[in-house]
Amino acid sequence: MGISGSNKKVKINRSTVEALPYFKPNPEKPNTNQQLVFDSVLPGFGVRITESNKAYFAQKRVGRKVVRFTIGPCNQIIPEKAREIAHEKLLEMTRGQDPNLIKQGILAEADITLEKSFHDFVEVRSLKPITFREYNRAMKKTFKDWQTKPVNSITKDMVMRKFRKVSSESGPALANLEFRFLRALMNFAMGQYENSKGKPLVSVNPVSRLSETKAWHRIKRRQTIIDKSDLPKWFKGIRS
């Protein structure tokens, strides 16, 4: 990543990109060899300008480092397509992934987070809309603090502690439902990802602790009919 001159913002389109002048070296700043121009609409999308080239890029902080992904030369990609690619790459970075490593076929174990596993899981499974909503809600609420954790860092003890917490705060039925989802997600990760030695990245499903300790709740099937006056509360509960 070269040393950049002062950055500015413009609305990136065909005319503004063509109007951007090529970088001119400044004798007073001999270490500066490029200029970055950022889009005023999509944060992180921009054009890198050198003495002879202009290229689109996507840039965002991933963990403790700033990652810049080169999309391609401005004279070969139309701005609309570059913006579309930038949006995709910025989403990957938001999930904690470095698209440069993905492009090279190198994905560190730390990059396989619970959130990435969920996105990959959704892409290959044909989920009913209501099932997706339930799983997505679990990811955003119950497992929110685990989303950026490497999937192989989630332990049986962590599962047990969170299961007890959810059972206490949200009830045994919801705890069973959401941890069955987590079990399915971890089973997916076990078959989907391998480490550098070709071994499964996740060797043991941590949710198995609930079966080993017989911690799953036994839920009695409701025999009563919901009263008409209670329907608004019921709908509110399942939508929350």
The pTM of this model reads 0.52
Contact 113, 63 (CB under 8 A): no
> pLDDT of 110-165, one tens digit each?
778 999 899 889 888 888 899 999 999 999 999 999 998 999 999 999 999 999 99
How far does CA 37 lie from the centroid of its chain? 26
Determine the pLDDT at residue 193. 83
Residues 238 and 235: their CA atoms lie apart, in Å, by 5
| Mean pLDDT, rounded, of the chain | 86
DSSP letters spanning 104-133: HT---GGG-BHHHHHHHHHHHS---HHHHH
> pLDDT of 173-232, one tens digit each?
999 999 999 999 999 999 888 776 677 888 999 999 999 999 999 987 665 565 666 666
Domains of the chain plus CATH, in order, are 8-104 (3.30.160), 109-239 (1.10.150.130)
Provide the token pair at 3.
């040393």
Residue of 176, 189, 177, 183 whose CA lies nearest to 121? 189
Question: In terms of pLDDT, which residue wins out, 29 or 37?
Answer: 37
